[in-house]
Homo-oligomer: A and B are copies of this chain.
Amino acid sequence: MNAVGVVVEYNPFHNGHAYHIEKARKETGADVVIAAMSGNFLQRGEPALLSKWARTRMALHGGCDIVIELPYNFATQQANSFASGAVALLEACGCRYLSFGSESGEIDDFLSTIHFLKESNDKYQHLIKQFVQDGNSYPKATSLAFKALSPHHDQTVDLSKPNNILGFQYITAIQNQGAQMAPTTVTRKNADYHDESFNTSTIASATSLRKALFANDGHIENIQRYVPAATYNGLMDYYNEFGLFHNWEHYWPFLQFRLIQSSPEELRNIYEVEEGIEYRLISAAQEAGSFSEFMENVKTKRYTWTRIQRICVHILTNASKEMMLKNNMPQYLRLLGMTDNGRKYLHHKKNALQLPMISRVSSKNEAELSLDIKASKVYGLAATSLQSKKLLKQDFLQPPVLLKTANGLQ
């Protein structure tokens, strides 16, 4: 049995994701699709709309056969660490391919871009340094440096686009880790990553879907055409059960409290808190009445919005530098869910998996999973007390989601 890996957040799962899985399966001829999926907090430093369990259910209905949690210390990191953790997970699962979405849909374009940047590396690094010194954030400087190098032939991809950056980082991680997986890419349909408004087709970006969900609290009818039925029902069920779709504002009281009660010294233990931003965070927390107001007060040219949000997630989950940097590679495969087909694959490969598989939290693995578990608990606090209790203990009580279908497709 052959597997193709995908790296996902599914926030929420939509028709574009289903299209990607279907194409990846078809183009690679793989028998199973394995998703490395972020847990409850995401790469852009935000809580996921729905818990990882609800999103796993959607993923299995949408065509994935196996969902493995990308551990917190990779899921909430900048693109290179994020990609590096995801690639290591999928490689450990024995994936033969890694498939990602891109505008161009040509894997050769990525390979030649990487080749071009390797050749121009001295100049590239010099330019990045220069742009950082000019006061730009690191991602901005990277993008400006890339533009300045202006590789004007057809076989390059534009690394100022977020999705291209991720693709670029996946391939780089595969090369750096000497992974056996072959990278492959599927042309994205219609919606741009940052597209906030709907178009008339059945494809919309996750960003626009989230925007629509929050604009019409609890009324989800207007996103129905853009998501599979299982996502639509899953969203309704989640809202009925827990009374919310999670967003940063739900966690603002906790963030504000923690910033107000902390000393700058304590905050400096937290991952990515450095260069004096702790003073800025503490002072802004006293002034702001909401998370968005807080972010407006904190933002600066030197820090991207995303980086500040990630710092805030780490403050919320109390993720110290020590804990975040303890392992630079994943140490376990946390199984969130599988189809019958996925189970067959895991049974078949059980002696070939390169990392221990964890299906249930127990006293034996609790310490190792502590960051993931803490993130889940804090995530659960957004719901009102009774629901919160269920959410915050879910990591201990929930067995992997099991979907009984022939091939994981609806």
Contacts and interface: CB of A to CB of B under 8 A. Distances in A.
Contact of A258 (B258, B286, B289): B258
B262 A393 contact: no
Name A's interface SS: helix
A164 interface: no
Interface residues of A, number: 27
A386 B290 CA distance: 10
Nearest to A287: B389
B256 A253 contact: no
Interface stretch (A131-139, A144-152, A377-385): A377-385
A261 interface: yes
B253 A381 contact: yes
A385 to B, nearest CB: 4
B287 A318 contact: no
Contacts of A393: 286
A263 B318 CA distance: 9
Contacts of A381: 253, 256-257, 260
B385 A261 contact: no
A287 B380 CA distance: 12
Interface string A281-310: 000001101100000000000000000000
Contacts of A257: 254, 257-258, 378, 381
B385 A260 contact: no
Contacts of A287: 389
B378 A261 contact: yes
Given A253-B253, A286-B377, A381-B253, A261 B386 contact: no
Copy number in the complex reads 2
B385 A262 contact: no
Most buried by B among A287, A377, A386: A377
Nearest to A316: B261
Interface string A243-278: 000000000011011101111001000000000000
A15 interface: no
Interface in A366-396: 374, 377-378, 381, 385-386, 388-389, 392-393
A244 to B, nearest CB: 15
A261 B318 contact: yes
Nearest to A388: B289
Contacts of A263: 318
Interface of A: 253-254, 256-258, 260-263, 266, 286-287, 289-290, 316-318, 374, 377-378, 381, 385-386, 388-389, 392-393
Closest 8 CB pairs of A and B: A289-B385, A261-B318, A254-B257, A260-B377, A257-B381, A261-B378, A289-B389, A289-B386
Given A253-B253, A253-B381, A261-B374, 5 more contacts: A258-B261, A266-B318, A286-B389, A289-B385, A289-B386
